[in-house]
Amino acid sequence: MTVRLSDQPWLTAPATRAVMAALEAAGGPGCARFVGGCVRDALIGRPVADIDIATTLKPEETDRAVRAAGLKAVPTGMAHGTVTAVAERRPFEITTLRRDVSTDGRNATVAFTDDWHEDAARRDFRLNALYADAEGRVFDPIGEGVADALAGRIIFVGDPETRIREDFLRILRFFRFHAWYGRGEPDAAALAACRALAPGMVRLSAERVSSELMKMLSAPDPRAAMAAMADAGVLAQILPEARLSPLFEAAVGQGNDPVVRLMTLLPADEAMTRGAAIRLRFANATRDRLAFAAVAVPAVSLSMSDREARAVLYRHGAKAFSDAVRRRWAEAPDRAVDAGRLLELAEAWIRPPLPVGGRDLARLGIEPGPETGRLLKAFEEGWIADDFPAAGHAERLQALVSPPPG
């Protein structure tokens, strides 16, 4: 039975047609097929983001074919067979069919081939080893890839341990794909291999690990996959500070922000959180966000008044305050109304600037120096405590400089 992709605007888009026509003009009909995620997602009715193409053309031939058609060619990975074609400002990653010559658990040495089955055999999961031609006819060289995609099964191509030893990142990819595409219990053979080979992940770069973790935490509901990953000892390998708890369970129900979800896996401890983020080389913005939220958590209570909340917002900032509120909400899932009130306040409130400065003190005879800083800090603390009044600043400052007798 022939399986076809249907109702796929990207498949018939002029840019897609132009790239496929360019390749077939050089290599003949059937020399190029769509591969991997675009085929899988189209097959199961999910939106298609990136369009990847596999071809029997060698990289240099691909480059010439794209340029001959008047399209832009970018040699993004010639040594590994990849050229990126750009048509109508959309990128198409085109890779020559490959087979692995050697692997070290992190990188692979490849040789080019014209055998579609060889190319499929080096891929990670059967549902990713799918191809489709320009007319949408689906090819499943390994077999069971179409069935796996439709059933939500994440099963390695061939022997799981062999696939993992080729690239230990595939352990994390297994759980990430289970979070996004899996249904039911994870494949037992894959789980056993992940558990046995988890220590091999020490070979991976921190950037690759953190990227996979954040993609997994971005899934609509990663709870089952995370539980399986923790049970297999994989979570402890990559993030020993993490603890699966009801906090994480509740955070998943609040929204799909992966940083909030990660925050609830970690203790509200700035040093520990920052240390973990630095070790895994998270982006600076993510690292700081996690650390700032950890600092803000002790100052936040879902029972706090709006006035108290504004003081915390002023001191910690809206993002750290909101993240701390979400953590508190995860600790008390039945307090959605209180959390919602505080989150709305954080979104609407505009932090006022300190209404006085050194010049105001100079006019009162205070010379620049440590005393200026002390007086400004005292003014600020009183101004915050009084809920940021808009007037009376001169009088308050005068009182600090020349306090009344007695």
3-class DSSP assignment, residue 245: coil
Count helices and strands (H / E) in the chain: 22, 9
Compute, in degrees rounded to 10, the torsion defined by CA atoms 76, 82, 85, 89. Answer: -50
Q: In the structure encoding, which two tokens stand for residue 28, read together?
A: 């003949």
Q: Is 386 exposed, middle or buried (0-12, 13-18, 19+ CB in 10 A)?
A: exposed
DSSP secondary structure of 132-177? E-TT-BEE-SSSSHHHHHHHT---BSS-HHHHHHHBTHHHHHHHHH
Residue 92 one-letter amino acid: F
- Tokens 């053979």 correspond to 189
For residue 304, the SS3 value is coil
Pairing mode, if any, of strands 90-96 and 51-55?
Answer: parallel
Indicate the helix (H) or strand (E) that contains 369.
none
Domains and CATH numbers, the chain: 1-151 (3.30.460.10), 159-238 (1.10.3090.10), 241-351 (no CATH), 358-401 (no CATH)
Q: What is the CA radius of gyration of the chain?
A: 28
Distances (CA, A) of 264 to 221, 257, 260, 290: 15, 11, 6, 10
pTM of the model: 0.89
Q: Is 85 helix (H, G, I), strand (E, B) or coil?
A: strand
Which amino acid is located at 180 in the chain? Answer: W
CB atoms within 10 A of CB 119: 26
- pLDDT tens digits in sequence order for the chain, 406 residues long: 689 998 899 999 999 999 999 999 999 999 999 999 999 999 999 999 999 999 999 999 999 999 999 999 999 888 889 999 999 999 999 999 998 876 665 666 789 999 999 999 999 999 999 999 999 999 999 999 999 999 999 999 999 999 999 999 999 999 999 999 999 999 999 999 999 999 999 999 999 999 999 999 999 999 999 999 999 999 999 999 999 999 999 999 888 999 999 999 999 999 999 999 999 999 999 999 999 999 999 999 999 999 999 999 999 999 999 999 999 999 999 999 999 999 999 999 999 999 999 999 999 999 899 999 999 999 999 999 999 999 999 999 999 988 766 5
End-to-end CA distance of the chain: 96
Of 70, 39, 71, give the one whose Cα is nearest residue 52: 39
Let me know: does 250 contact 333? Beta carbons within 8 Å.
yes
Burial class (CB in 10 A: 0-12, 13-18, 19+), 157: buried
